Amino acid sequence: MTDVVMPQMGESIVEGTLTKWLKKPGDHVERDEPLFEISTDKVDTEIPSPAAGTLREVLVEEGKTVGINTVVARIEDGAGNGAVAPAKPAVAAPPPAAPTPAAPPPQAPAAPSPPAVAAAPEPAEPSGPLSPLVRKMARENHIDLGRVKGTGAGGRITKQDVEAYLAASQAPVAAPAPPRTVPAPVVAPPQPSTYVPPAASSPAKVRVEPMSTMRQKIAEHMVMSKRTSAHVTTIHRADMTKVAKMRERHKADFQSRYGMSLTYLPFVVRAAVEALRAYPIVNASIEGTNILYHNEINIGIAVALENGLIVPVIRNADERNVLGLQRAIVDLASRARSRQLKPDEVQGGTFSITNFGSFGSLVGTPIINQPQVAIMGVGAVTKEPVIIDDAIAIRSMCYLSLTFDHRLIDGALADQFTAKAKSVLENWSEEVL
């Protein structure tokens, strides 16, 4: 089998999007025949097959973005020399995939000779891209780049890394770098600095399961967002009594007429739209040092899935009334759950709303859906005793949270925006039916 990898298309390029497979599994390919197309930085590139044979497995689907050197497919060689992958560490170990502790089932935990651990970190080639300079330095100094730790973007090895490595290895003892083919010594005192997850030593106490692609994407996006924006959350309390009454009055009729229930969410979306119109900067995004004001109001609605989350977008939400919004929400949510959303329908959002109230939460501090600059969280609507004109009244109340990017939006504006949405809800006047 020959592994086909995402090629390195340039020094500054650490990943590529696989846009199109030109062959299907089972197809025969010639060496150098175009096999797939990738897209990086406004450049589409046809990638030729590295070997002749049969395309056995396609590991990365169209539309996915993966780091360079990621294996995207496997080709079974025509000559029938399958099985052994070329240029792989000689150690007959499980392929260096994710560190799934493929520990032979229930090993006696008393005999700590961790099997997978010794073999796993044996990279033949570092995973990041390599600049010609780094390759040259490695060649000239006979450095195995697999041993050099990359500190550049995406873990790439920089000139400084190679210099640091050289300096370190030429320093005191001639011992040319730590022995890699660790024979046995790894026992009790584990590597000093690196945190060793307990997985390997106590297999009974954890169950290891690889994250789904969606989970990985969510994880990446959330951390990226936190790293990108200066998150601040402000919370306003809205009196939803008018909306609640309106909803109460039309619920049954709405259900029988349109076959869906009328929820609070379309009212909140409507209110958010009004506020976005009044404060367009909340409907913007940041690009370098420019502010992009979006002329469309496209609202992402967070939809909880069985094992994840997706944010389909109601395009031109400002052109819809409550009925239209409710219909869009029901449609997008149901298709999100049956995984039938088109890629277009999860892109292009300019603001997002997350309705954690439907799970009983009163207040939340959502994370911004990049590259947007704000997200509104809607808490549960509950009946509360409220003081109005020094009298106690029972009102339907709800907390609206607005997480905003303080790089672009200051607190005063965020509060004006939220107050506007609150005011639309509290003074609801639009007919629903």
Residue positions annotated with a catalytic role: 406, 410
Query: Between 48 and 96, whose beta carbon lies closer to another protein?
Result: 48
Q: Which member of 290, 338, 340, 429 binds another protein (CB under 8 A)?
A: 290
Query: Between 22 and 93, whose beta carbon lies closer to another protein?
Result: 22
Binding segment (CB under 8 A) for another protein, from list 15-23, 111-119, 199-207, 271-279? 15-23
Query: Between 256 and 295, whose beta carbon lies closer to another protein?
Result: 295
CB of 311 to another protein, least distance (A): 16
For another protein, the binding residues in 31-90 under the rule CB under 8 A are 32, 34, 37, 39-46, 48
- The yes or no reply on residue 107 touching another protein (CB under 8 A) is no
- The yes or no reply on residue 30 touching another protein (CB under 8 A) is no
Instruction: Check: CB of residue 254 under 8 Å from CB of residue 267.
Output: no
Q: What is the DSSP letter of 346?
A: G
Beta-bridge mates of residue 284: 293
For another protein, the binding residues in 121-160 under the rule CB under 8 A are 131-133, 136
Query: Between 30 and 344, whose beta carbon lies closer to another protein?
Result: 344
Which two structure tokens, joined as six digits, stand for 145? 């780049």
Binding segment (CB under 8 A) for another protein, from list 14-22, 162-170, 235-243, 386-394? 14-22
Which among 70, 71, 12 has a CA at the least distance from the CA of 41?
12
Q: Is the link from the previous residue into 371 a cis peptide, with omega within 30 of 0?
A: yes
CB of 62 to another protein, least distance (A): 10
CB of 215 to another protein, least distance (A): 25
Query: Between 106 and 132, whose beta carbon lies closer to another protein?
Result: 132
Q: Which member of 1, 5, 13, 235 binds another protein (CB under 8 A)?
A: 13
Which two structure tokens, joined as six digits, stand for 284? 């913007």
CB of 226 to another protein, least distance (A): 19
Instruction: Check: CB of residue 117 under 8 Å from CB of residue 200.
Output: yes
Q: What is the DSSP letter of 158?
A: P
Q: How many CA atoms lie within 13 A of 67 on its CB side?
A: 11
Query: Between 16 and 266, whose beta carbon lies closer to another protein?
Result: 16
Cα separation of 201 and 118, whole Å? 13
Q: Which member of 287, 389, 390, 431 binds another protein (CB under 8 A)?
A: 287
Which two structure tokens, joined as six digits, stand for 44? 């589409």
Tell me the residue ranges of DSSP E strands in 281-390. 284-287, 290-293, 299-301, 303-305, 308-310, 313-314, 351-354, 374-378, 382-388
Query: Between 9 and 117, whose beta carbon lies closer to another protein?
Result: 9
Return the ∠ at Cα 55 (arms to 49 and 60), rounded to 5°.
85
- The yes or no reply on residue 106 touching another protein (CB under 8 A) is no
Query: Between 10 and 210, whose beta carbon lies closer to another protein?
Result: 10
Binding segment (CB under 8 A) for another protein, from list 97-105, 160-168, 342-350, 359-367? 342-350
Amino acid letter at 432?
Answer: V
Amino acid letter at 165?
Answer: Y
Longest dimension (CA), the chain: 89
Q: Which residues contact 185 (CB under 8 A, 6 or more apart)?
A: none
Q: What is the DSSP letter of 142?
A: T
Q: Which member of 20, 139, 180, 245 binds another protein (CB under 8 A)?
A: 20
CB of 310 to another protein, least distance (A): 18
Query: Between 20 and 383, whose beta carbon lies closer to another protein?
Result: 20
Binding segment (CB under 8 A) for another protein, from list 17-25, 49-57, 211-219, 412-420? 17-25
Which x/- pattern over 299-328 shows residues binding another protein (rule: CB under 8 A)?
----------------x-------------
Which two structure tokens, joined as six digits, stand for 185? 């010594």
CB of 97 to another protein, least distance (A): 28
Cα separation of 152 and 155, whole Å? 5
For another protein, the binding residues in 211-240 under the rule CB under 8 A are none
Which among 381, 416, 391, 390 has a CA at the least distance from the CA of 402?
416
CB of 431 to another protein, least distance (A): 31
Please name the residue ranges forming H helices in 120-264.
Answer: 132-141, 159-170, 213-228, 241-258
Size of the site for another protein (CB under 8 A): 36
Handedness of CA 419, 422, 426, 428 (dihedral sign): positive
CB of 351 to another protein, least distance (A): 14
Cα separation of 186 and 178, whole Å? 13
Q: How many CA atoms lie within 13 A of 432 on its CB side?
A: 29
Binding site for another protein (CB under 8 A): 9-13, 17, 19-20, 32, 34, 37, 39-46, 48, 131-133, 136, 287-288, 290, 292-296, 315, 344, 347-348
